[in-house]
């Protein structure tokens, strides 16, 4: 039987799900933010900075920030949107022998007045974290509950604990077009992407890529999104970030299923994105 308990992360209320096989996740209500995913062997798969705020004063540095309604500065609102900065509700939880889940909800009625005023649309978001064996699936749903279309971008800004950056690579991107942080459009030549300097790339998404680290291989699969964003800040950007210790960029990379450009969602319509990570 799966067990669901209330826990605290820093001062943030969070929910812990332990599956029948011992795999577990911890999700903060602030941002419906996944803070930890341990497979049944006890191995932590997510990275969270030891300097991250865990008190609701700013976004959490690590885990899985939920991006909505804009990616980075690709929209008129705050960087990466507001969904990672507000409290969600635990909507449901459960499990049947093989898999177990937590579901979090956020709709316009949950927003603080200033946020609601800055984004005056009727919407309902759902995020479902499903554990089954050595896989974690995150199902992301955006519903337009209003009478007019709205534009949105979205992402699951996943920070993986890679242990050792210089032993890490991402494969499955050979021949795929990407835009780098100098806004150049290029095609990846090499079978594997290594991390010897800052990387901030938007790839036209193949459905699956593989993350290879010194001691693990993770298969990442996405549906419904349009890009993979691959990011590591490198030494200089890391030094400039006050919620990341100077050496911590050596411990993580982000690989994010994303819909980087805001695109319209018609009144009454629903968009779904799925991200499955298999160890």
Positions touching ligand TA6 (CB under 6 A) are 59, 72, 79-80, 157, 200, 229, 231, 254, 256
Helix (H) or strand (E) holding 25: strand 24-28
Shortest gap between Cβ of 228 and ligand TA6 (angstroms)? 10
Sign of the CA dihedral 56, 57, 61, 65? positive
Instruction: Return d(Cα 73, Cα 115) in angstroms, integer.
Output: 17
Residue 32 CA neighbour count, 13 Å, CB half: 27
Shortest gap between Cβ of 204 and ligand TA6 (angstroms)? 16
Shortest gap between Cβ of 79 and ligand TA6 (angstroms)? 5
3-state secondary structure at position 52: coil
Comparing CB distances to ligand TA6, the nearer of 139 and 256 is 256
- Which residue number has the CB closest to ligand TA6? 231
Comparing CB distances to ligand TA6, the nearer of 31 and 59 is 59
Shortest gap between Cβ of 77 and ligand TA6 (angstroms)? 12
Shortest gap between Cβ of 64 and ligand TA6 (angstroms)? 12
Return the percent helix, strand and coil in the chain, to nearest 5.
10, 50, 40
3-state secondary structure at position 34: strand
Comparing CB distances to ligand TA6, the nearer of 160 and 231 is 231
Comparing CB distances to ligand TA6, the nearer of 71 and 123 is 71
Comparing CB distances to ligand TA6, the nearer of 25 and 229 is 229
Q: 17 with 102: CB under 8 angstroms?
A: yes
């Amino acid at each position: 039987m799966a067990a669901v308990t209330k826990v605290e992360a820093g001062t943030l209320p969070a929910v812990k799900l332990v599956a029948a096989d011992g795999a577990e996740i911890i999700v903060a209500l602030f941002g419906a933010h996944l803070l930890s995913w341990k497979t049944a062997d006890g191995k932590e798969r997510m990275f969270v900075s030891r300097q991250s705020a865990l008190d609701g004063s700013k976004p959490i540095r690590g885990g899985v920030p939920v991006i909505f309604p804009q990616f980075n500065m690709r929209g008129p609102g705050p960087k990466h949107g507001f969904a990672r900065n507000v409290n969600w509700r635990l909507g449901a939880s459960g499990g049947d022998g093989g898999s177990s889940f937590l579901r979090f909800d956020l709709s316009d009625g949950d927003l603080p007045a200033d946020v609601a005023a800055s984004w005056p649309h009727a919407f309902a978001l759902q995020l479902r974290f499903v554990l089954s064996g050595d896989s974690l699936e995150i199902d992301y749903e955006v519903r337009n509950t209003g009478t007019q279309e709205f534009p949105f971008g979205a992402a699951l800004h996943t920070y993986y604990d890679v242990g050792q950056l210089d032993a890490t690579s991402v494969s499955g991107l050979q021949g795929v077009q990407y835009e780098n942080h100098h806004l150049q459009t290029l095609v990846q030549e090499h079978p594997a992407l290594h991390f010897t300097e800052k990387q901030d790339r938007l790839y036209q998404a193949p459905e699956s890529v593989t993350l290879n680290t010194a001691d693990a291989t993770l298969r990442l699969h996405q549906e419904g999104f349009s890009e993979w964003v691959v990011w590591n800040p490198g030494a200089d950007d890391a030094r400039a970030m006050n919620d990341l210790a100077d050496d911590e960029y050596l411990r993580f990379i982000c690989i994010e299923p994303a819909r980087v450009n805001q695109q319209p969602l018609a009144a009454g319509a629903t968009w779904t994105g799925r991200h499955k990570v298999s160890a």
